[in-house]
């Protein structure tokens, strides 16, 4: 009788764990889709789409250590100064902590700046928060990798 009770407890724990994993997997998938939407917004210089992805108090820290507010970042995207030929992410990992998610990964970009082709690869960390049922990026930081 004790082994039957133990088996019931074991299987109910496994079932509960599996059910709690589903929302986390769905949130992680959603955030990865938003990361890809970010890249598309930059490539298309779509500041309106980018605006929907960023929290109002968003801060970006660039490879050179400079920082930009949401308004400054949107102005750069809108300006068209960077003409992307390629922008992609790889090795992305999402770690969830309730209504906060940390995304780490690598980015690869090929763009024209002032008529010159620039190729970069680096690592990034994006911090996402869930507000009113929507995920918004509140902070992003990039670090160049040496070739």
Question: Residue 11's pLDDT band (boundaries 50, 70, 90)?
Answer: very low
User: Is the pLDDT confidence value at 16 over 80?
Assistant: no
- Closest-CA residue to 27 (of 126, 138, 133, 104): 133
Q: Which CATH class is domain 23-144?
A: alpha beta
Question: Residue 15's pLDDT band (boundaries 50, 70, 90)?
Answer: very low
Render pLDDT for 95-130 as a digit per residue (tens, 0 to 9). Answer: 999 999 999 999 999 998 888 999 999 999 999 999
pTM exceeding 0.75: yes
Q: What residues does each domain of the chain span?
A: 23-144
């Amino acid at each position: 009788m004790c082994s039957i009770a133990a088996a019931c407890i074991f299987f109910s724990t496994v079932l509960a764990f599996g059910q709690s994993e589903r929302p986390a997997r769905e949130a992680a998938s959603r955030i990865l889709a938003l990361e890809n939407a970010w890249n598309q917004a930059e490539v298309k210089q779509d500041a309106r789409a980018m605006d929907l992805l960023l929290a109002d108090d968003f801060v970006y820290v660039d490879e050179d250590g400079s920082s930009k507010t949401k308004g400054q970042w949107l102005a750069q995207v809108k300006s068209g100064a960077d003409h992307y030929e390629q922008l992609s992410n790889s090795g992305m990992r999402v770690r969830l902590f309730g209504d906060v998610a940390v995304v780490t990964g690598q980015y690869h970009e090929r763009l024209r700046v002032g008529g010159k082709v620039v190729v970069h690869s680096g690592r990034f960390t994006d911090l996402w928060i869930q507000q009113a049922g929507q995920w918004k990026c509140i902070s992003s930081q990039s670090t160049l990798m040496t070739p």
